[in-house]
Amino acid sequence: MPSSAAAIPAINGNSILPHLRRSNLNRPLLFHRPRIVAITATSNATATSSTSYLTSVNEEIDAHLKQAIPIRPPLSVFEPMHHLTFAAPRTTAPALCIAACELVGGHRRQAMAAAAALRLMHAAALTRDHILSGRNRDRIGHSFESNIELLTGDGMVPFGLELLAKSDDLTQSNSERILRAIIEITQAMGSQGMAHGEHNHSHHGQSDHSDLVCRKKDAGLHSCAGAVGAILGGGTEEEIEKLRRYGLYVGSMQGVLSNWVESRGESSMEKVLNELENLALQELEGFDRGNVQAISSLLGTNFGDA
């Protein structure tokens, strides 16, 4: 397959982009959970296919985080933080943040610290899930006492924000954007977002509300990622809001894929996913079609069960 063809993200052989309508798409791949996207080594920072864009971006975020969380004293802090961060299942939110930054004309290094912070937030939320319910025990491994996990989770969010706040040193006179990104992330973590989702989750368990709640959590993380990437990349207010909504729909799709109650049936799930994908793609319509490949490639990825 020539690389120009590979550059168009495809679901089951049908390219999404040339039409920006999805009525002629089917999505059997999305139903085969877990759909684990192969993470293969590549030195090519310019993505040429959906998998390699995600791969290369995630590798850069990993490298950034590995440098930021060295295994060094105090070992009681950094060893479990290192482990819990890298052992946590993936999310596409950090890559979405980078893609949004690039889509509005920014360089990915401008959003790298924010992407790392999002990764830490996600890992901290999973650690909290782990403590609350034990249900991620097998996913992230159980190498530390739950007290240590609790404390490490508590430290991971501030540490991510520290990385973001410090990234001001690299790009001068960028502090307004970084402060705004911090507001977005703290809101998503706190009053408006993931904690709220968790509260409901904690109250309702796997009730009828659980898919809505999980969708809210995934949606919150991804809409924050889209907005933050656009802010840091210097997007206009309109672009920021479009990418916030794009992230909302992408995250909602992932929430549906990860938490769909089986008894509801696949046809109903497909309908919901179709609606969300339509809404997501509409948000990309204002952007140059040649530049939306990378970010739209994240639509079909589900790490939720990886």
Task: Please give the residue ranges that form the binding site for its own copies (CB under 8 A).
Answer: 74, 76-78, 81, 124, 128, 131-132, 145, 147-148, 150-159, 161-162, 165-166, 168, 175-176, 178-180, 182-183, 185-187, 189-191, 195-196, 198-200, 202-203
Instruction: Tell me how far, at minimum, the Cβ of 144 lies from its own copies, in Å.
Output: 10
3-state class (DSSP) for residue 303: coil
CB of 130 closer than 8 Å to CB of 111: no
Nearer to its own copies, 176 or 266 (CB): 176
CB of 231 closer than 8 Å to CB of 177: yes
Nearer to its own copies, 157 or 295 (CB): 157
Q: What are phi and psi of 14, to 5 degrees?
A: -95, 125
Nearer to its own copies, 76 or 207 (CB): 76
Nearer to its own copies, 56 or 91 (CB): 91
Instruction: Tell me how far, at minimum, the Cβ of 182 lies from its own copies, in Å.
Output: 5
Torsion sign across C-alpha atoms 10, 14, 18, 19: negative
Instruction: Tell me how far, at minimum, the Cβ of 79 lies from its own copies, in Å.
Output: 10
- Give CA–CA dist 42/60, Å, rounded: 11
Nearer to its own copies, 45 or 183 (CB): 183
Give me 94's structure tokens.
Answer: 């950090």
Whether a cis peptide bond, with omega within 30° of 0, leads into 73 is no
- Give CA–CA dist 1/50, Å, rounded: 14
3-state class (DSSP) for residue 290: helix
Nearer to its own copies, 85 or 297 (CB): 85
Instruction: Tell me how far, at minimum, the Cβ of 236 lies from its own copies, in Å.
Output: 20
Q: How many other β-carbons are positioned within 10 Å of the β-carbon of residue 145?
A: 10
CB of 222 closer than 8 Å to CB of 247: yes
Instruction: Tell me how far, at minimum, the Cβ of 74 lies from its own copies, in Å.
Output: 5
CB of 214 closer than 8 Å to CB of 257: no
Nearer to its own copies, 150 or 279 (CB): 150
Give me 305's structure tokens.
Answer: 């069960």
Instruction: Tell me how far, at minimum, the Cβ of 82 lies from its own copies, in Å.
Output: 11
Instruction: Tell me how far, at minimum, the Cβ of 246 lies from its own copies, in Å.
Output: 23
